[in-house]
Amino acid sequence: MFRLLIDASLLAVVLGMKCPGSPSFFHASAEVVAIADASCADVKEEMLGRVQSSPWTDPHNAGTYSVLPSKLSSQLDFSRLTGDKKYTDKLTITLADASGKCMIMGCSESQVFSIFDFSTNFCNLRNLYCGPSDGCQPVKHDFRVVESRVTASPGAGSDAKSCITTLTL
């Protein structure tokens, strides 16, 4: 498994992380490389199930995800509106089969000027694949995920504990 994690991180570097882009020059962002102990078909179905399912609630302040058109079948594009309806982030997730597992390469970017994001961009990604041991509720498939690389822009966070919160207005 350790070798697979190293290979996944190297592959992400070689292929280059795909990010959705932002109209703001200064913006918070996060990138994740992870390995899921499941097929990419199951990972994709779970992510789409969470985004498109009404019983599932985003555990990071009840944000609302939307599916955006993707050019590749191995790529998922989403937007996420914060629970207070003030900010939108965009996400690009690329899935690649790797020795019977699925490599997840994800990037989330704020769409307005931002520096400190309190781990929001990281959580935007993580909450689409996290499992019960992380405090998340699967919709279709429960699988184990190991994050091999997490990178946040200066000022942005990557605290997994911040991903399970409730909205206070």
* Residue 70 to residue 68: CA distance in whole angstroms: 6
Q: Give the model's pLDDT for residue 140.
A: 95
The domain 2-163: what is its CATH number? 3.30.530
Q: Give the model's pLDDT for residue 34.
A: 97
Q: Is 2 helix (H, G, I), strand (E, B) or coil?
A: helix
Question: pLDDT (tens digit, 0 to 9) for every residue of the chain, 169 residues total?
Answer: 555 555 555 555 546 789 999 999 999 999 999 999 999 999 999 999 999 987 889 999 999 999 999 989 999 999 999 999 999 999 999 999 988 999 999 999 999 999 999 999 999 999 999 999 999 999 999 999 999 999 999 999 999 999 998 655 5
In eight-state DSSP terms, residue 104 is E
Domain map of the chain by residue range? 2-163
Predicted model pTM: 0.90
